[in-house]
Amino acid sequence: MVATLRVVLDQLVAPTEPELAEASRELARALVIGAPSGCEVEAIAPAGGSDEALAAVPGLAGVRRTALPRRELSAALQLGVGTGIGGGMIHAPSLFAPLVRHDRLHDNDQTVVTVWDLRPWESPAELPRPVVAWHKAMLKRAVKHADAVVVPTHSLAARVAEIAPGLGDRMRVIAGASPLGFSVPVDEVGRRRELGLPEGFILLAGGPLGSEGLDAGLAAVAASGVDLPVVVIDVEEGHEPAVADLASAAGIPERGLHVRGVLSVEDRAAVFGAAVAFVAPSRRAAFPWRVVDALTLGVPVIAASSGVHSDVVAEGGVLIAGTDASSLVDGLGAALAASLGSTAAAERLGVLAGDRGRAFSWREAADKVWMLHAEL
């Protein structure tokens, strides 16, 4: 008898968040590659969209389309009404799942969901109200009906336990990772040239929203006295002028700033390939995908101290525990100056980052997911 793990891949058919779409794709790939003997992986996807995106996950045993497109399906899931997804062994890389009453004991139905980011609870003003309401409603449904809730770090597990104490011992910690095979491409120079980027720069990621901490990060770069260009990636379309304003306010000249949006995996790796350091000023309770990218590629990491960064960076970078905005800026700036003050210092941090980066693997994450469903 074949055991089928049904993975919700709504983000591949109708993506709403680039990081979540990438995580869904990479986890599904790893689940297929690491499927135990007698097991297979099937996709669940909303109606509409093309099958081309699902082709990015080779080896799927099948694709089950729901009757509803993503927007209508999202509303149905929030209300707990019929969706046509059915039962079985369901794993969702987000909260997007049929969280309804089911019988795990007799019918072997089980539903596992994932929480990567607590912004809907900690910085709700940064999101549309319907988005906040949806996430809060779905976590409440998870408390009632999920067989397990996956979070990527222990600090996030502790925070989710405060927000949703009814989950009890159903939480599991399974970290995300950079894409399978993530490495600096052989045509990195050409890719950076196409992107209009210089060689050798300080890298940051994110946008102008308060929880991103980009204002502190840019101010820290200016305070460091390091005379290098600054590149900011993952900037949402339309937010470029706001990022430029933050840089100007921090004292970074316009000619030294390069703002780019969400990049392909290969272009992103090429950008990291020329970064001399990655500065992560955000303290948001969310999995820091770009910090993991930096660690994976051995780029020195200077980050604001937080529960998430302590879990992820550990000894692989420099963590700055500023007590307020001013001390954080000063601390990050001083750490950046010290880290790039000599070739030996930069190389040492790069080695530490690379060592830590090996702790993150989608193959390992997939193995833990298979084990979790086996335990359930």
321-353 confidence digits (pLDDT tens)? 988 889 999 999 999 999 999 999 999 999 999
- Residue 105 pLDDT exceeds 70: no
Taking only the tens place, the pLDDT of each residue in 117-166 is: 999 999 999 999 999 999 999 999 999 999 999 999 999 999 999 999 99
The per-residue pLDDT for 30 is 98
Domains of the chain in start order, with CATH, are: 3-177+361-375 (3.40.50.2000), 188-357 (3.40.50.2000)
- Residue 106 pLDDT exceeds 60: no
Nearest to 156 by CA among 278, 303, 283: 283
Residues linked to residue 204 through DSSP beta bridges, in sequence order: 232
Question: Confidence band (pLDDT; 50, 70, 90) for 107?
Answer: low
What pTM does this model have? 0.96
Mean confidence (pLDDT) of the chain: 95
Provide the sign of the torsion angle of the four alpha carbons 4, 85, 26, 143, taken in this order: negative
- Do residues 115 and 79 touch, judged by C-beta distance below 8 A? no
Structure tokens at 97: 């799942």
Other Cβ atoms within 10 Å of 41 Cβ, number = 24
Taking only the tens place, the pLDDT of each residue in 159-188 is: 999 999 999 999 999 999 999 999 999 999
Query: How far, in Å, CA of 60 to CA of 1, rounded?
Result: 17
Question: Confidence band (pLDDT; 50, 70, 90) for 361?
Answer: very high
Q: Which residue intervals of the chain are DSSP H helices?
A: 10-13, 18-33, 70-79, 104-107, 119-122, 129-145, 154-163, 188-195, 214-224, 240-250, 265-273, 289-296, 307-313, 325-339, 343-357, 362-375
Other Cβ atoms within 10 Å of 144 Cβ, number = 11
Provide the sign of the torsion angle of the four alpha carbons 197, 203, 205, 207, taken in this order: negative
- Residue 27 pLDDT exceeds 70: yes
